[in-house]
C-alpha cells in the first residue's frame, strides 16, 4: 500500500497532486487549442441530439452532483441550452417530466451509484437520450448509457473525491465548448480563448498546489473549529458546496456551503468571532459583490479565509488569511479555486487524527439505496 501511495501519506493527498496530470490526460487527444478543435467521439456521434435538445438534465450524487452544478453554469453560458441539475435520488422518485427531446447527462466517478443508475433507467424508458460522464471504464453506468465520455482520472481510492471532480468539470467544459461552436453561441474569439485557457489549466493547477504550505498554516488555526461556512457566487457557488462537503466528509467538522448573497437570509445569524468563513473571491467573478459580503462578515467579527486571484489587494486587506490561485476566466476558475479547499480539508483532517482515506460511515461507491 505504501508503494501505491507513491510516497504520499494518504491516497487523498496523492490524488490531489495528480490533478495537473489527470486533467491533461482527460483533454489529451480531444482538445486541440491551436487548431480550434474539440473532438469527443461520444459527442460527435450524437451531435444532432445535443443540438436539438430542448434542455439538458443532469443527474448525479455527492461530489459528482457538484460538478453537475458547475456544468449548469457553463452549459447555459456557453450554449444557451437550459439545464436542470438534480440529485439522482430525488429525480427517480418524483415522477419527473422527461420528454423525448431531452438529453440527460449522468455524472459518476464509479459508474456504480445505485440512484444514478436508476435515474438513467427511468430517463431511457421515457425516451431521453442518456449520456454518461464516468471515470471507471466498463462500469454499470457506462454500459447503461447511450453514449458517453470518460474522465481519465485513473483509480480514485480516497473516499473523498478530488481528481474525479476536476476531471468531470474538464469533460463537461469540453462538451459545452463543442456545442457552443456548433451552435455559434460563443464568439470565435471567446471560443479560442477558452480552448487556450483550458490547455494551460494543468500548469495553473500546479501553481494552485503550491498553496499547500499556506493551507497547512491555516488548517493549524482552524482545526478545532466546530463549524465552518463556505461562500461563493456564480461558478464558485458549487465550489463552496464542494469545499464544505470535503471538510465534513473527512474532518467531521460541521460545514455548510452557501451562495454568498444568500448569507443574509440565514447563515449571517451564525457569524461571530468563532466562525471561520471561507470565501471564494476570484477577480473575474462577481468580485465587488463578494467583497461586500466579506465586509458584512468582518463587521460581525467572523474569521475570513479568502481564496483570491494572485496579486489581489482589496480582499487581502479585509481577510484574516488569503490563499492565492492563478488568474483564469470565471468559467474555468472552479478548476483552480477548488484545489486549496481540498488541501485545507486534508490538513485539518490529518491534524484531527481522522482516517482521511476511509472516513467513518462513508463508502467510496454507494451501490445500494
Provide the minimum distance between the beta carbon of 361 and ligand G6P in the complex, in angstroms, as a whole number.
Answer: 10
Strands 83-87 vs 103-108: parallel, antiparallel or unpaired: unpaired
Nearer to ligand G6P, 245 or 305 (CB): 245
Who contacts 239 (Cβ-Cβ below 8 Å, separation ≥6)? 66, 70, 232, 280, 334, 337, 338, 341
Cβ(333)–Cβ(236) below 8 Å: yes
Catalytic residue among 5, 216, 223, 364: 364
Per the structure block, which three cell numbers stand in for 275? 466562525
Alpha-carbon distance values, 31 to 181, 196, 334 (Å): 13, 9, 19
Nearer to ligand G6P, 161 or 309 (CB): 161
CB of 314 to ligand G6P, least distance (A): 34
Cβ proximity to ligand G6P: between 17 and 78 the closer is: 17
Beta bridge partners of 86: 59
Active site residue 364: yes
| Burial call 168-205: b when 16+ CB within 10 Å, e when fewer | bbbbbbbbbbbbbbeeebbeeeebeebbebbeebbebb
Closest CB 226 distance from ligand G6P, rounded Å: 23
The nearest distance, CB 262 to ligand G6P, in angstroms, is 23
Name which of 51 and 362 has its Cβ closer to ligand G6P. 362
Q: How far apart are the first and last CA of the chain?
A: 30
Minimal distance in Å, beta carbon 111 to ligand G6P?
A: 7
CB 186 within 8 A of CB 177: yes
Cβ proximity to ligand G6P: between 242 and 256 the closer is: 242
CA angle 228, 332, 286 (to 5 degrees): 60
Q: What are the φ/ψ torsions at residue 156 (nearest 5 degrees)?
A: -110, 115
Least distance to ligand G6P from the beta carbon of 310, Å? Answer: 29
Instruction: Supply the DSSP string of 183-249, one letter for each residue.
Output: HT-S-HHHHHHHHHHHHTHHHHHHHHHTTHHHHHHHHHHHTT-SEEEEEE-GGGHHHHHHHHHHHHH
Residue nearest ligand G6P, CB atom distance:
62
Q: How far is CA 76 from CA 57, 99, 107, 176, 177, in A?
A: 12, 19, 17, 9, 11
Q: Which is nearer to ligand G6P, 217 or 367 (CB)?
A: 367
Question: Which residues here bind ligand G6P, judged by CB under 6 A?
Answer: 61-64, 108-110, 113, 116, 159-161, 362, 364-366
Which residues are catalytically annotated? Answer: 364
Amino acid at each position: 500500500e505504501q508503494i501505491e501511495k507513491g510516497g504520499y501519506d494518504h491516497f487523498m493527498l496523492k490524488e490531489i497532486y495528480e490533478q495537473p496530470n489527470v486533467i491533461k490526460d482527460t483533454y489529451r487527444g480531444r482538445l486541440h487549442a491551436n487548431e480550434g478543435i474539440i473532438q469527443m467521439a461520444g459527442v460527435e456521434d450524437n451531435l444532432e441530439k445535443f443540438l436539438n435538445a430542448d434542455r439538458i438534465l443532469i443527474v448525479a450524487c455527492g461530489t459528482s452532483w457538484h460538478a453537475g452544478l458547475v456544468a449548469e453554469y457553463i452549459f447555459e453560458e456557453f450554449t444557451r441550452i437550459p439545464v436542470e441539475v438534480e440529485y439522482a435520488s430525488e429525480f427517480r422518485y418524483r415522477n419527473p417530466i422527461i420528454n423525448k427531446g431531452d438529453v440527460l447527462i449522468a455524472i459518476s466517478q464509479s459508474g456504480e451509484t445505485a440512484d444514478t443508475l436508476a435515474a438513467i433507467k427511468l430517463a431511457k424508458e421515457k425516451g431521453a437520450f442518456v449520456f454518461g460522464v464516468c471515470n471507471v471504464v466498463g462500469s454499470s453506468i457506462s454500459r447503461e448509457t447511450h453514449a458517453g465520455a470518460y474522465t481519465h482520472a485513473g483509480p480514485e481510492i480516497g473516499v473523498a473525491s478530488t481528481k474525479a471532480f476536476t476531471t468531470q468539470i474538464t469533460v463537461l467544459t469540453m462538451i459545452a465548448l463543442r456545442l457552443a461552436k456548433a451552435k455559434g453561441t460563443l464568439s470565435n474569439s471567446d471560443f479560442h480563448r477558452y480552448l487556450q485557457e483550458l490547455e494551460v489549466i494543468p500548469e495553473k493547477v500546479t501553481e494552485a498546489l503550491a498553496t499547500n504550505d499556506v493551507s497547512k498554516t491555516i488548517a493549524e488555526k482552524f482545526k478545532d473549529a466546530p463549524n465552518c461556512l463556505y461562500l461563493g457566487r456564480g461558478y464558485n457557488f458549487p465550489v463552496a458546496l464542494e469545499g464544505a462537503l470535503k471538510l465534513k466528509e473527512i474532518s467531521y467538522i460541521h460545514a455548510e456551503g452557501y451562495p454568498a448573497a444568500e448569507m443574509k437570509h440565514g447563515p449571517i445569524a451564525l457569524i461571530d468571532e468563532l466562525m471561520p468563513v471561507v470565501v471564494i473571491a476570484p477577480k473575474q467573478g462577481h468580485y465587488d459583490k463578494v467583497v461586500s459580503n466579506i465586509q458584512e462578515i468582518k463587521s460581525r467579527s467572523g474569521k475570513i479565509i479568502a481564496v483570491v486571484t494572485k496579486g489581489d489587494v482589496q480582499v487581502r486587506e479585509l481577510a484574516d488569511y488569503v490563499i492565492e490561485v492563478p488568474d483564469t476566466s470565471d468559467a474555468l476558475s472552479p478548476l483552480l479555486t477548488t484545489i486549496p479547499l481540498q488541501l485545507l480539508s486534508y490538513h485539518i483532517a490529518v491534524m484531527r487524527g481522522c482516517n482521511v482515506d476511509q472516513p467513518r460511515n462513508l463508502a467510496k461507491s454507494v451501490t445500494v439505496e
